[in-house]
Structure formats: C-alpha cells, structure tokens
Amino acid sequence: MGTHHAERRLQARLAEVEARIAAQRRLVDGIVESARDANVDDEHDPEGATLAWERQQAAALAAEAETERAGLLAALERVAAGTYGVCEVCGRPIPAARLEVRPGATRCVVHAR
C-alpha cells in the first residue's frame, strides 16, 4: 500500500472519528441539558438514573473515539516518517488486511498485544 493511499485512508477515518466525537459530545451536552431542565434527582427518580446512565454511555463512547483519534494521528505521523505499516517489534511489514481493519496498528499479528 502506497503512503499516499495510506495517508488518504487515515485522513478519511480521522474525519469519521472526529464527527463521532462531536456527535457524542453533543449527545452528552443534550443529556446534561435535559437533566437540568427536568431538575431530576438522580438518586430517587428513575428518569434521573436513566439520564445518568445515558450520559455515562455517551461519555464512554466519546472517550473511545478520542483514543482512536490519537492512534490515527500517531499513524499519520508514522506515514510522514516513513515507518507506517512496519511492525515496531520485528520491523517486518504489517499485512495490508490488518491495516485495513486497524489502521493505527503498530505491530504485526505475531507481535500484537
């Protein structure tokens, strides 16, 4: 896989992840606003417990997307450095199929954690 192709693919995936982060943040903000508007007591009102759970889920999904974003940014740095697609342990090429599924992969399958 050429570095230009890899960079384009990483940039496209990064745009998707950033959109997902923005959507999850909007969702969290909306849930917080709903709870504020309803003046919900999380401890005693079943609706409050539901809103708290939804807020935690949305926040967890946003955090997961932010972790993926960091991995994609690091992968773009490796593209620029010429080390993208090379296992950091053995120095062999990471199979294209693995990079397709995990574009931020830094290790081949043998050395995957």
**Is the overall model pTM greater than 0.85, yes or no?**
no
pLDDT at 34: 76
Whether residue 91 is predicted with pLDDT greater than 90 in this model: the reply is yes
Choose among 21, 2, 1: nearest CA to 73. 21
In a domain, 100, yes or no: no
In a domain, 76, yes or no: yes
In a domain, 90, yes or no: no
Q: pLDDT (tens digit, 9 = 90+) per residue, 52-89?
A: 888 899 899 999 999 999 999 999 999 999 999 999 99
b/e 66-94 (16+ beta carbons within 10 angstroms → b): bebbebbeebbebbeeeebbbbeeeeeeb
In a domain, 96, yes or no: no
Containing domain of residue 51, as a range?
Answer: 3-83
In a domain, 111, yes or no: no
Greater pLDDT, 7 or 36: 7
| Cβ neighbours around 31 below 10 Å, total | 20
Q: How many domains does the chain have?
A: 1
In a domain, 77, yes or no: yes
